[in-house]
Chains A and B, each alone.
Chain A
């Protein structure tokens, strides 16, 4: 409890550090914030060409929205994923990047990874805003779902924050962490139904049946991936315009809580040793 009040007391610092990142990010660029859109757009273009035109991946049309545009379907999963991956990777390096501060000034160290969540989240909010406009233009009736989308966005941010906290500490002690994690994140992305629909996995799973004589299928294991749940909830809300599967939603919340509790716990235990370990 004491720890929570201490963190709350540094919320102003958290806000200032977040602003520092946001303001410093696109200083001296002509297009400013627009650059934050270029990366997802370029990725979208590449994936659409490769997967929709060459490999002929065709996700089922949105039900009941009736939307059937690969690029939009892709973005509904790609934007949350990009946010998640960026928070984990930048948050992981946040302590080392601010080594000068950590060694010279006392403050609640947890604000460093958390401010990454804030600044990356700001860009994400902007991207999601643009996505909403695109969805509306394409004929998706997305407006009533916005509050729920925001809730799930917060859950994903919490989940990412927890991971970033754990990894930021690990990275101070073992600098290998960042290289290992960047490889793992690539694998993780392909293990999540972002550029292909989960129906393809379902087909494979059915073909194989229960694994090793049990009733556990490939799909069950595949769906242990927390990001799979998040991505499917985002798609249900944004692309299909329907209530998300309640089990998925609850699991998202459970994953988020577990991650932040472990993350804060780990961080708190090693916080005091950070300055000399750097």
Chain B
């Protein structure tokens, strides 16, 4: 039972903060060999393990490094120190529908976005009906997606991403979009995921959602891991720290 699905091992991530916009040749030349930047550590020595088949929540205030950590998990950023290992295929939902082409129809976009997320054409064809059904935009599937309402856009994007069928699903605050019915559908999907023995790592600012869905949670503050453990006490500790104005 205590199989480890994702292991985050002493991960630190640094961003370079440049004083002036560095993206011009002039500034690079003027600077010469001196580099005018400050290091900013968005993650400092974070370590935890996520067991297979569990749902794991990441909480913390704005700018505490949650999204950065997820991006490291998704191989979008690479940590300067430490390492992340995981079992099986990992899929990240950092922003839904980011690969949509506005002029193309919903159908064409399903295939395009599916392949961006790493699905083969066969897989997408097989799951096409399921994706369309889940998104609830059957009627408009042959319309260009620029005519979609923002909710429909997100629904379709989410439906594709959730059908990638990963072993580890990484989700960043996408639950808050869509109407109540769709949110209900999404939470149900997460429950199914868990039942199928898959691991979910999610970020949310809604403590009730974390409480409801997660087995364990980690609390990040200013890039540092404050505590990690069962969801309930971690959330309580986090909420208490918010209520008591401390240094």
Q: Most A CB atoms within 10 A — which of B26, B116, B120?
A: B116
Does A107 contact B98, Cβ atoms closer than 8 Å? Answer: no
Q: Contacts A23-B104, A104-B94, A174-B25 given: A13-B15 contact, CB under 8 Å?
A: no
Residues of chain B lying within 8 A (CB to CB) of residue A147? none
Interface code B112-150, partner A: CB below 8 Å = 1, 0 otherwise? 100111101100000000000000000000001000000
Residues of chain A lying within 8 A (CB to CB) of residue B86? none
B76 at the A interface (CB under 8 A): yes
Does A106 contact B104, Cβ atoms closer than 8 Å? Answer: no
Partner of B98, one of A104, A180, A276: A104
Closest beta carbon of chain A to B216's beta carbon, Å: 25
Does B74 contact A106, Cβ atoms closer than 8 Å? Answer: yes
Chain B contact residues, CB within 8 Å of chain A: 15, 23-26, 28, 71, 74-78, 92, 94-95, 98-99, 101, 103-104, 108, 111-112, 115-118, 120-121, 144
Partner of B95, one of A20, A23, A100, A176: A100
Closest beta carbon of chain A to B184's beta carbon, Å: 25
Does B103 contact A105, Cβ atoms closer than 8 Å? Answer: no
Dominant SS among interface residues on chain A: helix
Does A27 contact B103, Cβ atoms closer than 8 Å? Answer: yes
Does B98 contact A100, Cβ atoms closer than 8 Å? Answer: yes
Does A176 contact B26, Cβ atoms closer than 8 Å? Answer: yes
Which residue of chain A has the shortest Cβ distance to B76 in the bound complex? A275
Does B94 contact A16, Cβ atoms closer than 8 Å? Answer: no
Which residue of chain B has the shortest Cβ distance to A172 in the bound complex? B23
Partner of B104, one of A12, A20, A101, A173: A20
* 22 residue pairs bridging A and B, Cβ less than 8 Å apart: A17-B116, A19-B112, A20-B112, A23-B103, A23-B104, A24-B104, A100-B95, A101-B98, A101-B99, A101-B116, A104-B92, A104-B94, A105-B94, A105-B117, A174-B25, A174-B28, A176-B24, A177-B25, A180-B25, A275-B76, A275-B77, A276-B77
